Amino acid sequence: MNEQGLPENEIFSYLENVKSEDTDYYRVLSSMCTHPHKIAVEAHRLFIEANLGDLGLFAGAHRLEREVIGMLGELLHAQSVEIPSGESCEKSVCGYLTTGGTESNIQAVRGMKNLVTMGRKMPGEILNIVIPESAHFSFDKVANMMGIEVKRALLDSEFKVDIASVESLIDANTIGLVGIAGNTEFGQVDPIEELAKLALENELFLHIDAAFGGFVIPFLENPHSFDFKVPGVTSIAIDPHKMGLSTIPSGALLFRSPSFLDSLKVNTPYLTTKAQFTLTGTRSGASAAATYAVMKHLGREGYRKNVQYCMQLTAKLVKEARELSFKPLIEPVMNVVALRVPSPDLVREQLLKKYSWNVSITRNPRALRLVLMPHNTERDVEEFLQDLKKVTAEL
In the complex with ligand PLP, the residue whose CB is nearer, 103 or 262, is 103
Region of residue 317 (left: phi > 0; alpha: psi -120 to 50; beta: else): alpha
| Residue 109 Cα to chain centre, angstroms | 15
Residues 238 and 214 sit within 8 Å (Cβ to Cβ): yes
Instruction: Find, among 195, 188, 191, the residue nearest to 213 by Cα.
Output: 188
CA distances from 131 to 149, 232, 393 (A): 10, 16, 39
Cis amide bond preceding 269, omega within 30: no
**Contacting residues toward ligand PLP, per CB under 6 A:** 32, 100-102, 105, 136, 138, 180, 183-184, 209, 211-212, 239, 251
Q: Checking DSSP bridges between strand 88-92 and strand 81-85, what pairing results, if any?
A: antiparallel
**Could you tell me the smallest distance in angstroms from the CB atom of residue 211 to ligand PLP?**
3
In the complex with ligand PLP, the residue whose CB is nearer, 100 or 328, is 100
**Could you tell me the smallest distance in angstroms from the CB atom of residue 37 to ligand PLP?**
17
Give the other-Cβ count within 10 Å of 362's Cβ. Answer: 20
**Could you tell me the smallest distance in angstroms from the CB atom of residue 224 to ligand PLP?**
14
**DSSP character for 300?**
H
**Could you tell me the smallest distance in angstroms from the CB atom of residue 103 to ligand PLP?**
6
Instruction: Find, among 305, 337, 301, 292, the residue nearest to 318 by Cα.
Output: 337
Q: Checking DSSP bridges between strand 275-276 and strand 266-267, what pairing results, if any?
A: antiparallel
**Could you tell me the smallest distance in angstroms from the CB atom of residue 366 to ligand PLP?**
18
Residue nearest to ligand PLP (CB): 100
**Could you tell me the smallest distance in angstroms from the CB atom of residue 355 to ligand PLP?**
24
**Could you tell me the smallest distance in angstroms from the CB atom of residue 263 to ligand PLP?**
21
In the complex with ligand PLP, the residue whose CB is nearer, 215 or 326, is 215
Q: What is the three-class DSSP state of 290? A: helix
Angle at which helices 285-323 and 378-394 cross, to 10°: 50
Alpha-carbon gap, residue 192 to 232, rounded angstroms:
9
In the complex with ligand PLP, the residue whose CB is nearer, 32 or 206, is 32
**Could you tell me the smallest distance in angstroms from the CB atom of residue 30 to ligand PLP?**
10
**Could you tell me the smallest distance in angstroms from the CB atom of residue 253 to ligand PLP?**
11
Alpha-carbon gap, residue 179 to 374, rounded angstroms:
26
In the complex with ligand PLP, the residue whose CB is nearer, 183 or 276, is 183
In the complex with ligand PLP, the residue whose CB is nearer, 98 or 306, is 98
In the complex with ligand PLP, the residue whose CB is nearer, 174 or 184, is 184
In the complex with ligand PLP, the residue whose CB is nearer, 256 or 369, is 369
Instruction: Find, among 271, 282, 284, 281, the residue nearest to 50 by Cα.
Output: 284
**DSSP character for 284?**
B
Region of residue 35 (left: phi > 0; alpha: psi -120 to 50; beta: else): beta
In the complex with ligand PLP, the residue whose CB is nearer, 81 or 180, is 180
**Could you tell me the smallest distance in angstroms from the CB atom of residue 31 to ligand PLP?**
9
Per-position DSSP letters for 321-357, written without gaps between them: HHHTTPPBSS--SSSEEEE--SSHHHHHHHHHHHH--
In the complex with ligand PLP, the residue whose CB is nearer, 110 or 136, is 136
